[in-house]
């Protein structure tokens, strides 16, 4: 609830769009897990790319964010020959864009390719490109650390993102301003 009140007190946001609540985000996360489970149950020997954006604050999508998301997805799809792509699903929600790509690829190989995008693509820092697979009917994911990569960094100060976020080094307004400037510069 703390986050909800923080969001509602914001008088000026840099990103424009429909506001979402913490409950909206929790419901979206639960639905995402259900979709992941369904896709992998249908294709149990495959690996799943589950893509969303990492946008702080109550605005999770707008035209510029959708453009950035689709740009990364288009380039991600180009990494795989058509015979490797088993299924795909794309959702546009007020809680943000979601994309699911079921691949005939090992989880580790896929994660390595996605880390490259996260680290080198102009919009890569805004993306959450998760690799999910089924093992004993339970969803598992591959982390960067498992593959000897450093944790994601903050897009403002380059400290470890989780630590920076936990300690609230930057305001939502600061983070949104940084994102808006990136979208303007590259858009």
Domains of the chain, start order = 18-150 (3.30.70)
**Which backbone phi and psi does 11 adopt, to 5 degrees?**
-95, -25
Name the pTM for this structure.
0.86
Written in H, E and C, the secondary structure of 144-158 is CHHHCCCCCECCCCC
Burial state string for 98-109 with b = 16 or more CB within 10 A and e = fewer than 16:
bbbbbbebebee
Please report the DSSP string for 84-109 in residue order: GEEEEEEEEETTEEEEEEEESS-HHH
Cα dihedral sign, 4-158-124-37? negative
Report residue 3's pLDDT band, with 50, 70 and 90 as the boundaries: very low
- Degrees to nearest 5, angle at CA 27 with 38 and 108: 45
8 Å CB contact between 21 and 4? yes
pLDDT value for 9: 39
pLDDT digits (tens, 9 = 90+) for 5-31: 344 333 344 688 889 999 999 999 999
| Pick from 88, 75, 82: nearest CA to 117 | 75
Question: Residue 111 in 3-state DSSP?
Answer: helix
**24 CA to centre of own chain:** 16
Instruction: Tell me the per-residue pLDDT of 47-104, one tens digit each, with 9 for 90 and over.
Output: 999 999 999 889 999 999 999 999 999 999 999 999 999 999 999 999 999 999 999 9
The residues pairing with 129 across neighbouring beta strands, listed in sequence order, are 51
């Amino acid at each position: 609830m703390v986050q909800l009140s923080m969001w509602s007190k914001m008088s000026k946001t840099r990103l424009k769009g429909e506001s979402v609540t913490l409950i909206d985000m929790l419901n979206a996360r639960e639905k995402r897990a259900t979709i992941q489970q369904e896709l992998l149950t249908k294709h149990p020997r495959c690996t799943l790319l589950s893509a969303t954006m990492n946008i702080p604050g109550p605005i999770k999508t707008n035209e510029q964010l959708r453009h950035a998301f689709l740009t990364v997805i288009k380039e991600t799809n180009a990494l795989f020959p058509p015979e490797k792509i088993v299924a795909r699903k794309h959702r546009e929600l007020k809680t943000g864009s979601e994309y699911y790509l079921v691949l005939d690829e090992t989880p580790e190989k896929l994660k390595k390719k996605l880390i490259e995008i996260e680290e080198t693509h102009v919009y890569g820092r805004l993306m959450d490109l998760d690799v999910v697979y089924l093992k004993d009917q339970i969803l598992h994911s591959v982390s960067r650390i498992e593959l000897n990569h450093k944790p994601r960094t903050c897009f403002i100060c380059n400290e470890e993102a989780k630590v920076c976020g936990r300690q609230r080094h930057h305001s939502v307004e600061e983070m949104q301003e940084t994102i808006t400037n990136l979208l303007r510069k590259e858009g």
